[in-house]
Structure 1
Amino acid sequence: MDALIVVDMQVGLLNGEPKHDLNGVIERINLLAAKVRERSGTVIFVQHCSGTEDDFVPETPGWALLPALHRTPADIVIRKILNDPFVGTDLAARLKEMAPERVFITGWATDLCVDATVRSAVSHHHNVVVVTDGHTLNDRPHLDAASVVRHHHWVWSNLITQRSVRLARTDELLF
């Protein structure tokens, strides 16, 4: 059984500046989520929450998950307040109880919350699969989005861990 973590794919985070291959990322997350569910796995949506200073107050329009994401009642939603969804939430306990063979990681933003999720999942001794075409961000002041993605793929493939960290495209994981 596998678990798919979808990080912060929320209206308020994905509005504004163009995001790297956003429509493709959404489509691939939906395809992978359907396959994980079909194989009796679990889909976990992580949702960033914050105070009144921004668009991520629970139950406000910016806080909502993207309507284009296909969700089911069996999916789990984890609310977080930091980049790392393992801190201050029950994500670690839920994954420990599930004992997935692999943890697939997708979402927003490659260099912040997705990176924190990858590193924390590794630290919690999971076999991590970073879905290389399943995460996104916008250009940064010092680097374009595609370069940030390439850099993080290199970093993640070179993490020192006692479990596996695999990088794979969605099409590789669907078969």
Structure 2
Amino acid sequence: MTTLSGRPHTALLVIDVQNDVMTGAHERDGVVANISALVDRARAEDVPVVWVQHSDDGLAFGSEGWQYVPELARRESEPLVHKKYGDSFEATDLEEVLASRGVGRVVVTGAQTDMCVRSTLHGAFVRGYDVTLVSDAHTTEDLTSYGAPTPAEVVAHTNLYWGFHGGPGRRADTVATKEVTFAAAPAGGPATRD
């Protein structure tokens, strides 16, 4: 259903599941376990797994905190996209990586929900991708001291609004890990929400 012609495939995006990003993250272990299960399923189904890794002044490229959490291991054959902005498409080669694999739908996991995950959801959608958010495979830290809702509320709200997101010729949906399918979304019909 994507508006990107000749792009029938799906890819799994794993965004910023890095040591410092995940320190103190809401439901950290469960989220990492769900992402790991999705990575295993994608590999078994020959679906591209694309790893996204953030760096900035507070998260130094190559540092221990910048590394992916030890529970998740990228294979050398799997693309790694380095970014400096919230949207994983911004000033990166993500579009080229996906285009070269015929990907028109992305399944999004990772951190942080209210920053890089949301930016990437919208970035993918406005670029013509169908976008599935995995409801129990993204997380954020506690930013309530800055006036933000609790991490659980941020995750719940993002799951809710993304399940109702839409646009001409594209599909957005929110599903739980156990409900993820890497098959192309059918044309038309309502999005699936959990």
- State TM-score, norm by structure 1: 0.90
Matches within 5 A, 1:1-175: 1-15=9-23, 18-51=24-57, 54=58, 56-100=59-103, 102-141=105-144, 142=147, 143-162=149-168, 163-173=170-180
Distance in 1 (CA, whole Å) between partners of 2:62 and 2:25 is 24
More helix by share: 1
Structure 1 residues 91-122: Cα deviation after superposition (integer angstroms, max 9, x where no partner): 01221222225310000010110000100111
Distance in 1 (CA, whole Å) between partners of 2:99 and 2:125 is 13
Distance in 1 (CA, whole Å) between partners of 2:38 and 2:46 is 13
Q: Secondary structure at the match of 1:40?
A: coil
**Alignment size in residue pairs:** 170
Q: Secondary structure at the match of 1:118?
A: helix
> How many angstroms does 1:42 deviate by?
0.8
Alignment root-mean-square deviation, CA: 1.6
> How many angstroms does 1:170 deviate by?
0.5
> How many angstroms does 1:88 deviate by?
0.3
Question: Structure 2 regions of 5+ residues with no counterpart?
Answer: 1-8, 183-194
Runs of 4+ residues over 4 Å off in structure 1? none
Q: Secondary structure at the match of 2:133?
A: strand
Q: Secondary structure at the match of 2:73?
A: coil
Task: Check the 8 A contact 2:79/2:97 in 1, yes or no.
Answer: no
Q: Secondary structure at the match of 2:107?
A: strand
Task: Check the 8 A contact 2:112/2:140 in 1, yes or no.
Answer: yes
Amino acid at match of 1:70: A
| Aligned residues with identical type, % of pairs | 31
